[in-house]
Amino acid sequence: MDRDTRAHTVLLDFDGVLSLNASSLLLRALHEGINRHTDLPHAATAAQFKAISTFPQRDSLRVLFAGLGIEQHLAAEIAALRSLTSVAGIPLTLGQGVEEFCAEQRAHGVRLRVFSTMDRTTARRALLDGLFEERDFVSLDHASKADPDTYTALLAAEHEAHPERWLLVDDSPLALRAAKIAGLRTVLMRGEVFTDADVAPFGSYIDARVASFAELGDVLRSGRAALPA
């Protein structure tokens, strides 16, 4: 390839991307938390988790807990979720090859940003210490990753007139839909939570699909998910 066709900014989700096992472990923790107070089948918890994982955490969980009649336990369960570093003895870990991927992209002048609903009070964020600086974290505050305006506002704040040079990597098809509507390129990171059936209706919003950081690196090198600068 004669010219580099990489995106110049890559937005990386944390749960299910930078930490490949985080989404499944958080789903398990949420299910256990709900079932401490009321009986809910795992399939029902999973359906709710998939629907709200891109929304502001406190607001979306408040609706869920209130709807189940257990809102009085919301604060304690949110605190438990934010403090998680492991679930049932399984630690939340960075995906294999994350460090190498970040080093390669930065060597080619690609800017990497962490695009996640977690904040500074979230314990699992410490996994990124030394790999990302504070300025690399996008502050979502109460914005929804499922809202195209979230990406439009980010681009405006960055004075970016070329959204096609930005790329979102996420495991949630709702987030990828919103980013694609806003003009970004998109890559789905396959994981254990969102199934092929979940993803199928969103196919037109997804430019590439990967299952590892090695594959993601290949996609960026090939230009399959980034337009020429």
Q: Which CATH number do you get for residue 163?
A: 3.40.50.1000
Are 57 and 78 in contact, with CB atoms under 8 Å apart? Answer: yes
Is residue 112 located within the same domain as residue 175? yes
- Residue 224: the pLDDT is 65
Q: Are residues 112 and 131 in the same domain?
A: yes
Q: Which residue has the tokens 């314990």?
A: 123
Asked if 32 and 66 sit in the same domain, the reply is yes
Residues 6+ apart with CB under 8 A from 26: 15, 49, 81, 84, 87
Q: Are residues 74 and 121 in the same domain?
A: no
Side-by-side strand order, sheet with 208-210:
111-114, 9-12, 166-170, 185-189, 208-210
Stretch 49-57: mean pLDDT, rounded?
A: 93
Assign 1 a pLDDT band (cuts: 50, 70, 90). very low
Q: Is residue 2 part of a domain?
A: no
Q: In terms of domains, do 158 and 78 share one?
A: no
pLDDT, tens only, 6-47: 679 999 999 999 999 999 999 999 999 999 999 999 999 999
Q: Is residue 3 part of a domain?
A: no
Alpha-carbon gap, residue 35 to 25, rounded angstroms: 15
Mean pLDDT of all residues in 180-202: 97
Q: At which of 35, 56, 90 does a domain end?
A: 90
User: Residue 229 and residue 217: Cα distance in Å, rounded?
Assistant: 18
Q: Taking residues 209-214, what's their average pLDDT?
A: 97
Percentage of the chain exceeding pLDDT 90: 87
Residues 66 and 165 in one domain: no
Structural domains in the chain (count): 2
Instruction: Specify whether 168 is located in the same domain as 136.
Output: yes
The whole domain housing 138 covers: 9-21+93-222
**Do residues 207 and 186 lie in contact, with contact meaning Cβ atoms separated by under 8 Å?**
yes
Whether residue 228 is contained in a domain is answered as no
Let me know whether 74 and 127 are in one domain: no
Residue 67 Cα to chain centre, angstroms = 25
Shared domain check, 197 and 106: yes
pLDDT digits (tens, 9 = 90+) for 128-184: 999 999 999 998 988 999 999 999 999 999 999 999 999 999 999 999 999 999 999
Question: What was the pLDDT predicted at 2?
Answer: 36
Q: Which residues contact 118 (CB under 8 A, 6 or more apart)?
A: 14, 15, 82, 124, 125
pTM beyond 0.85: the answer is yes
In a domain, 193, yes or no: yes
Residue 121 forms part of a structural domain: yes
**51-55, 64-68, 176-180, 200-204: which has the minimum mean pLDDT?**
51-55
In a domain, 116, yes or no: yes
